Each structure stands twice: as structure tokens, then as C-alpha cells.
Amino acid sequence: MKKISLSKYTDFIVEKTTELLNIDSPTGYTEEAAKWVKDEFEALGFKTIQTNKGGVIVNLGGKDKKNGLLLEAHTDTLGGMVATIKDNGRLQLTNLGGMNPNNAETENVRVVTKFDGIYEGTFQLNNASIHVNGKYDEEKRTWESCEVVLDEDVKKKEDTEKLGISVGDIVCFEPNVRVTKSGYIKSRFLDDKLSVGILLGLAKYISDKKVTPKRALYAHITVFEEVGHGGSGSVPEGCTEAISVDMGCVGDGLTCTEKQVSICAKDSGGPYSYEIVKALVTAAKDSGADYAVDIYPHYGSDVEATLRSGNDLKHGLIGAGVYASHGYERSHRDGAENVLRLLIGYALG
């Protein structure tokens, strides 16, 4: 099979991923990002519906309505929530999803109050001045040993409360998006906004090429994946298969790189459908996608939540290789393009 050029669509993926990364959307605070997703798919000519939970389901067309394929990605991210307003006016947080204080330290944050606007601050170790804190190096970074230092003139708890900040307010961490000349994409929360961008790229390809998939094809952009129930329910009628399009892991013991599409054979939830793994490998070979097959020991996906909610589906997991997962993540435009190439070969071929 001749390898088709997808550079135009990869450019589109990177552009849209960058836009979405710059919209704050930690789990539980996804309304703006979901609206953006809905508007972007509709601008490409596709019908969407918004679930009661807040996710977006997109109908990408297709002929066989009894053998549908559902592609799942998520736009919710890691983040924080105000747990306590301390006596000094600073904020102790609790995590949303797997946000880790070890790699969140010194990051700029936005505190989204329920009724009184947004305030900026920085997530710091308690007593963060090295010239003052003689135990700086020894301190274990935990949610209790770190705090948000607000960029407001607050000296006590009452000062912070007067701003309208209260327990339960959302705290968004700065993504710090950067795309290098060499094609690397660096940002917090590539998991899983890069995959949302890839599914938009697939939708644009279908629209531009006027392709009608052989079987009904849907996308579900979920909003509670990071806490384990994003893909629960909301499966369109007639779907017999679901594939989570999430990040591929890059690290010791794995073969995937940031420039490849990863096909997951097994994660912490158990093996993926062997039939689907084989079919994905075949589609990768046939389409010319650079791929790797790996096992992720500390990973769970949307599609497993879909199965746990009682749906009778075959399931799989793919994604662009991402290094430093749940930290300051890095992928590459080639990885995004290889995911798109595989999806075109698998879902449209």
C-alpha cells in the first residue's frame, strides 16, 4: 500500500492540540473545554451530542450500524482543589486525579472560585526559601508539605476568605505549552488532549476526503477519565468495539518512543482483546505506521471503564508515545501522525 501524506493533518492536530491545552480543564471543571470540543467537531460538519456527565459524542458517519466502532479520548486533566485555607492565608490542596506534588512544585496556578473570579498563585514547598529553610533538600513533597502562595496581599485566613476563595474551589496548573522546531510537543496534560487533537485530525480527514466509513464510527470525548469513570456508559447503539485513544507510555522497559504509535497489549486492568491487538498491528503494518507493542504496568484506560459499566464490547488501546507521563510531558508530531495513520487504516480501511 502506498504511504499517504498526512502532513497537512498533522499540522492541524498540533494546532488544535495547542488550543485545547491552553483551556483549563481539570476533572470536574471541563465545561469550557467540552464546549470547545463540541464546536470544533461541528465546524467540521459532524453531529454531536453532549452527555449529562458533560462528555461529547460525535457521529463520524458509517454504513454498518450494527457493527459500530467507538473511539474514546478524554479532555479532563489532572489538577487540584482547595482542601484548607491555612492560618497564613495560603492554600493546602487535595489532588484531582494523579497530580503529583513532586513535579508540580514551583508551578503557576489559577484558583477558580465558585462565585468570585480567578486568582493566580504558585504551588510551593512550605517555607520555600532555600536561604531560610535548612531542611529544604530533605523535605518530602506531599500535599500537606506544599501550599499555594496567592499573588494577593493576604496574611491570614480571613484575608483569603474575603477574596471569595473557599474549600472545594478548583486549582488549575499552568500547562506551559511549547512546540519545538524539531517537532517535539511539550506540555502538561498531553494526556489526553493530544489524542483529542488526533481525533479532530481524523474527523477533518473524513470531511476533506468525503470518506464514508464501512461501519458506524463514533468518538466519545470523555470528562472524568482521570478519576476512573469517564468512559462509563454513553455507548452509541450498535457499537461492538471500543478503542481508547490515549497516551502511549515511554520509559524503561518499554519499546515505544515519542515518534511512534503505541499499541497496548495489557495494562493494570488486564489484557486487551487479543483479536483487536492483532488487527491493530496488521493495520499499522498495512498503513505504514511506525508502531510498538507494549505492556503498561501502572495504567488504566477509558475503555476499561466502558467494559466495567456492563457493555459487551471488544476493546483496545492505542496512543502517541508520551514521555514523563503525569508530569511535564513530551511527545512528537510524528507520534501523532502515526496514530492518525493507524486510525485511518483501521477505522476507514
Domain total in the chain: 2
Q: Are residues 300 and 214 in the same domain?
A: yes
Residues 72, 126, single domain; the answer is no
Percent of the chain with pLDDT strictly greater than 70: 99
Q: Is 40 a catalytic residue?
A: no
b vs e for 223-256, b when ≥16 Cβ sit within 10 Å of the residue's Cβ?
bbbbeebbbbbbbbebbbbbbbbbbbbbeeebeb
The answer to whether residue 182 is domain-embedded is no
In-domain check, residue 178: no
CATH at residue 220: 3.40.630.10
Bridge partners of residue 118, in order along the sequence: 112
Residue 148 has pLDDT above 60, yes or no: yes
**Per-residue pLDDT reduced to its tens digit, 59-97:** 999 999 999 999 999 999 999 999 999 999 999 999 999
Q: Which of 173, 202, 223 is the last residue of a domain?
A: 173
pLDDT score of 51 more than 80: yes
Q: Within a domain: residue 181?
A: no
In a domain, 165, yes or no: yes
What is the distance between the terminal CA atoms of the chain, rounded to a whole angstrom? Answer: 11
pLDDT at residue 135 is higher than 90 = yes
Q: Are 112 and 170 in contact (CB under 8 A)?
A: yes
Query: Do 121 and 205 reside in the same domain of the chain?
Result: no
Same domain as 141, residue 85: yes
Q: In this structure, are 84 and 141 located in the same domain?
A: yes
Residue 112 lies in a domain: yes
Domain final position from 142, 173, 204: 173
Supply the DSSP symbol for 347: I
pLDDT score, position 349: 77
Q: What is the mean pLDDT of residues 164-174?
A: 98
Using DSSP, state whether 72 is helix, strand or coil. strand
Residues 231 and 316 in one domain: yes
Q: Residue ranges of the alpha helices (H) in the chain?
A: 7-21, 31-43, 101-104, 157-162, 190-209, 274-287, 302-308, 333-343
* In a shared domain, residues 122 and 139: yes
Question: Using alpha carbons only, how large is the chain's radius of gyration in Å?
Answer: 21
- Grouping H, G, I as helix, E, B as strand and the rest as coil, residue 12 is helix
Taking the model in full, what pTM does it have? 0.97
Q: Single out the residue in 138, 173, 208 at which a domain terminates.
A: 173
- 317 and 220 within one domain: yes
The Cβ of residue 202 has, within 10 Å, a number of other Cβ atoms equal to 25
Is 179 part of any domain? no
Check whether residue 241 and residue 328 sit in a common domain: yes
DSSP sequence for 240-267: EEEEEE-PEEESTT----TTSEEEEEEE
* Full residue range of the structural domain in which residue 334 is found: 7-77+189-348
Catalytic position from the list 72, 107, 147, 225: 225
Average the pLDDT over 192-206 and give the result.
Answer: 98
- Predicted pLDDT of residue 292: 98
Kindly report the number of other CB atoms within 10 A of residue 270's CB atom: 8
Kindly state whether residue 180 falls inside one of the protein's structural domains. no
CB distance 176 to 199 below 8 Å: no
213 and 342: one domain?
Answer: yes
CATH assignment of the domain containing 121: 2.40.30.40
138 in the same domain as 112: yes
In a domain? residue 297: yes
Q: What CA–CA distances, in Å, run from 172 to 78, 80, 95, 113, 233?
A: 8, 7, 11, 11, 27
Kindly list the distances between the CA atom of residue 244 and the CA atoms of 39, 90, 308, in Å, as whole numbers in the listed order: 22, 39, 14
Residues 99, 164 within the same domain: yes
What is the residue type of 133?
Answer: N
Q: Is 44 helix (H, G, I), strand (E, B) or coil?
A: coil
As a whole number, mean pLDDT of residues 135-158 equals: 97
pLDDT band, very low/low/confident/very high, at 1 (cuts 50, 70, 90): low
